[in-house]
Structure 1
Amino acid sequence: MAEADPMKGVVARLDELVAIRPRAGGGFAPGGKVRTHQLGGHRSGFRGRGMEFDEVRAYQPGDDIRTIDWRVTARTGRAHTKLFQEERERPVLVLADARAAMRFGTRGCFKSVLAAQAAAILSWVGIAGGDRVGGVVIGPAGVATFRPERSRRRILSFVKSIADATADAPRAGEPPLAAAIAHIRALARPGSLIFLVSDFFDLDDHAVREVERLALQSHVTNLFVFDPLEAALPGAGSFPVTDGRIVARLDVDRPAARAVYAQRFQARRDAVERMSRERGMTFLPLDTGQNPVDILHPERLGAKPSAAARSAR
């Protein structure tokens, strides 16, 4: 009988990330939703300059002043801009987080492994649909950037980088989430589909600004990766925990401590969900007890995209 792999669920293997590739052909619909068949060119979910008029809305910072609707502006006394549906080729960009905070899990795998699996699935779906795929890998060693391409060999290099990052030893001075988002923003073009796969543990003001800038011209999906033990501690008792080298005891006898613990996690989740809702992004929670393939079927995750995100579809 073959011996069990002691690193299974702790480190993402390249062969596993290749094997997880969905077998059915497909791609992404305009708003980032998975669809069964890909027919070539897209009508982009991004609303920008193009051939077909869509609607008028209030002017927002970053809008092209050439699209201002002067008649509506004069009538209402407030600046309004025209929105158009564009036909365009669209890149798919994926950010995979494999930093130290992601090296935790109490169910099937570490958060970093689940994030790697989700990022790989999204990459395979994109390339199967004929999209150019690239992204950013953020790990202990730094930030690795991959420009979007259609080359399967290049995508394999991207997926391998994700796998390798899950095995890198944690070290001091890891890059912040904001830096990785800035890298992916440099790769993005109007109408891009962008997937941020992270636990967002360091979603500070700088990172929020970077995400908001992404959302101005791209369809952004925030995949919030977490472990159930982060959301709520177990009942009273003392439990062993380990980082793979040192074993310690986690004492959770005090109800007040458990309440504060749960509140901190909920505040982080709420911050990501609120940011997504307010900026028209999609919010998808994914925990380590779930099958990563469920991201292709958001209804299984109980996710509720914002009205703005739904309208883009």
Structure 2
Amino acid sequence: MSDATEDDLKGVVARLEELIAARPKGAGRGLGSARARSRQLGGHRSSFRGQGMEFDEVRAYQMGDDVRTIDWRVTARTGKTHTKLFQEERERPVLILLDVRTFMRFGTRGSFKSVLAARAAAMLTWLSLDEGDRVGGVVLMPSGVVSYRPQRSRSRILAFVKAMADATQDGFGTEPPASEPSLADALARLRHVSRPGTLAFIISDFHDFDDPALRELGRLSLQCQVSNLFIHDALEAETPQRGLYRVSDGTGVAVLDADSRAAREAYARRFAERREIIEQMSRQRGMAFLPLRTGEDPADILNPARTRRTRGSAA
């Protein structure tokens, strides 16, 4: 990478500076803003009652209630002791799974999928931090899986974001490893560090979404509110026209042969089937499904019309 200029690597690797600047302008109140709240990306309040920030109701005093919560006005008016109840504000950690493995290092519009994924992950990180949430997650790289404990400290969050940028360069310019960690591995890691009520974002092209990954994602959805960000490129979603196409991963160059009609149809079918599996499972399990294509702005996922969930509208 030392011989490559910054312009040569634009869109190929993510720079820390661009991830720091990934927070949408005018986002204001983070994931709890009115737009994001309508998609259930944030704005969380416990259904448990207790001492908290927001008044809920008054009820008759019961043995064991805190005497400091007695509502003396209602008590005087009714002649019976009443106590105030409050809606308890409950913290919700945010966990992000960022996939930047070899298959993500492809793109024909603006950037590699891995760079778009890193930008989306950074944007969600900053929005969550603005909301006061602890943020952490898992970074899935060609060389391994690294976990980051949810934090609220800006300095530690900056280290998490730097890890996202560095991950897009993991193994850059070298031969890909013989085997890479699987999406199922990363989902299992994420599930083990999550707790009930966690807000989880899975940012991947899901190219190896096999039965183990499906099971892990299903288990995760039982205890977390999950949003699946399906990263893809236009050339994956659309059958290429006949011809020979030069493609590169930033270091080597290969040729994609699209002269065969059968090959083109099989190519398009594989992508459509993968997308349908992810979308259908998201719908069945009440998870958000957010397709994001290279060349698009990651902030587009904050648009309610982009979300598909069991009770939601079509994207």
On whether the aligned pair clears a TM of 0.5, the verdict is yes
Bigger-Rg structure (1/2):
2
The DSSP-based 3-state class of the residue aligned with 1:6 is helix
1:58-73 map, 5 Å: none
- In structure 1, the residue matched to 2:48 is 50
- Give distance in 2, aligned partners of 1:42 and 1:260: 44
Moved more, 90-99 or 169-178: 169-178
User: What runs of 5+ residues in structure 1 fail to find an aligned partner?
Assistant: 53-84
Q: Which amino acid aligns with 1:18?
A: I
2:31 matches 1:28:
yes
1:225-262 deviation digits (Å, cap 9, x = unpaired): 00111112321122212233333322212222211110
- Give distance in 1, aligned partners of 2:304 and 2:245: 33
- Give distance in 1, aligned partners of 2:232 and 2:185: 21
Equivalent residue in structure 1 for 2:253, among 240, 247, 250:
247
1:1-313 map, 5 Å: 5-24=7-26, 25-29=28-32, 34-35=36-37, 42-44=44-46, 50-51=48-49, 87-169=89-171, 170-299=176-305, 302-307=306-311
Deviation at 1:41, TM superposition (A): 8.1
* 2:19–2:122 Cα contact (<8 Å) kept: yes
* 2:118–2:165 Cα contact (<8 Å) kept: yes
Deviation at 1:86, TM superposition (A): 7.6
Change (3 A) 1:86 1:231: farther
- Give distance in 2, aligned partners of 1:216 and 1:270: 21
- In structure 1, the residue matched to 2:60 is none
Q: Which amino acid aligns with 2:310?
A: S
* 1:41–1:88 Cα contact (<8 Å) kept: no
Deviation at 1:35, TM superposition (A): 4.8
Change (3 A) 1:253 1:173: closer
Report the TM-score when normalising by structure 1: 0.78
Root-mean-square deviation (CA, aligned residues, Å) is: 2.5
The DSSP-based 3-state class of the residue aligned with 2:149 is strand
User: What runs of 5+ residues in structure 2 fail to find an aligned partner?
Assistant: 51-86
Identical-residue share of aligned pairs (%): 57
- Give distance in 2, aligned partners of 1:297 and 1:26: 15
User: Which ranges of 4 or more aligned residues in structure 1 deviate by more than 6 Å?
Assistant: none
- Give distance in 1, aligned partners of 2:149 and 2:12: 28
* 1:41–1:87 Cα contact (<8 Å) kept: no
Change (3 A) 1:5 1:41: closer
Change (3 A) 1:41 1:112: closer
- Give distance in 2, aligned partners of 1:160 and 1:141: 17
Moved more, 93-102 or 226-235: 226-235
The DSSP-based 3-state class of the residue aligned with 1:136 is strand
Deviation at 1:279, TM superposition (A): 0.7
- Give distance in 2, aligned partners of 1:178 and 1:33: 31
- In structure 2, the residue matched to 1:81 is none
Moved more, 136-145 or 16-25: 16-25
* 2:12–2:250 Cα contact (<8 Å) kept: no
- Give distance in 1, aligned partners of 2:200 and 2:254: 39
- Give distance in 1, aligned partners of 2:23 and 2:93: 19
Deviation at 1:50, TM superposition (A): 3.1
* 2:100–2:140 Cα contact (<8 Å) kept: yes
- Give distance in 1, aligned partners of 2:142 and 2:255: 26
Q: Which amino acid aligns with 1:28?
A: L
Deviation at 1:87, TM superposition (A): 4.7
Report the TM-score when normalising by structure 2: 0.78
Q: Which amino acid aligns with 2:146?
A: A
- Give distance in 1, aligned partners of 2:141 and 2:295: 23
Q: Which amino acid aligns with 1:158?
A: F
